[in-house]
Structure 1
């Protein structure tokens, strides 16, 4: 059975633009997915990425156009300058880690729900109430927002270390059990084709 490690940041607009296509691809090919949320600022610092605030004006302008185009292509609404961004990504990441450990809900729906809350619904995903609502909407116990925080913090750091060690440098980033790497939501079709070729 194929497996995909999904490295992403809950602050990433491009992870939001992936929608639930990863889950659709995984289901189509009988693949399992491990969700590995991480600190994107720390990842950039470790892998040579440039934080948005430090990029040239031309790169910033291009990013805004690309977000608009990619959202249109994906059929998703987006506010490229959301009211509550950047925010603290750790609480939402800890909730994803806790939900994955607990099971019983829809992980794809949870992840997309949190990303959509930030990029389409003008909500602060560092707020407990927002996280609890997303957990409940995805079929998880909303109390997971406040459980396993120490374990979540450890896993969050471990995800960063594993990402760096495995060549991850952005979000979203998908790695198969064969170490085939795909960076960006615009490479999901390539991931799909790779899994199809595996049979």
Structure 2
């Protein structure tokens, strides 16, 4: 079975751009996707990256141009300046990890996609408990129970972050197939070529 390891953050716009496309190309090539929510707050300092608000103005300005460009190119809706961003994604990531731990990978991928849309399309606060419960319910999960039990995913979240560190991941989304890394949704074409080999 072909397997793609998928390291990501549920608040990343680039992860949002690539999420559904990743699932589509995996399906078309008979591959499975292993979602691995990762704490970029721990990854950035050791990899030379900077949080958005610490980046020089010219880099921040270019990022906005790229977001607009990709939104148009992919024909995907995007709020360039979402109301709730930056946002603490910890609880959202824990809920995804807890869903994975419950052997529900499909549910975790669905929840991840809906959390990304919540931030970048729907102007919802994924640090808010009520929002997280609602998004989980909309994803076909039991939102109240999942939110209450989110700490069950803490060890897995930490494990994924440690794995990412050891694999020299430095951004999101990050895909690994047969040991080969692909950074960014703009590398999905290369991932697809690898899957076709």
Q: TM-score range by the shorter chain?
A: over 0.9
Kept in 2, the 8 Å contact 1:105–1:138? The answer is no
Alignment of 1:144-163 (within 5 A): 144-149=146-151, 151-163=152-164
| Residues 20, 109 of structure 1: 8 Å contact kept | no
CA distance in 2, matches of 1:185, 1:36: 16
Paired with 1:117 and 1:156, the residues of 2 have a C-alpha distance of 21
**Given that residues 16 and 116 in structure 2 are in contact (C-alpha distance below 8 angstroms), is that contact kept between their aligned partners in structure 1?**
yes
Shift of 1:106: 3.6
- Paired with 2:106 and 2:36, the residues of 1 have a C-alpha distance of 17
Q: Deviation per CA, 1:109-130, whole angstroms, max 9, x where unpaired? A: 2211101101111110011222
Structure 1 distance, partners of 2:92, 2:62, is 28
Cα RMSD (Å) of the superposition? 1.5
Separation in 1 of the partners of 2:142 and 2:188? 30
1:56 aligns with 2:56: yes
Kindly report which structure 2 residues correspond to 1:94-133, keeping only aligned pairs within 5 A, or say none: 94-102=94-102, 103=104, 105-133=106-134
CA apart distance, 1:104? 7.8
Distance in 2, Cα, partners of 1:99 & 1:12: 20
Q: TM-score, normalised by structure 2?
A: 0.93
Distance in 1, Cα, partners of 2:105 & 2:60: 40
Q: 5+ unaligned residues in a row in structure 2: which ranges?
A: none
Structure 1 portions without partners, runs of 5+:
none
2:24 and 2:109 mapped to 1: Cα distance? 9
Is the Cα contact below 8 Å between 1:20 and 1:108 reproduced in 2?
no
Aligned with 2:24: secondary structure? helix
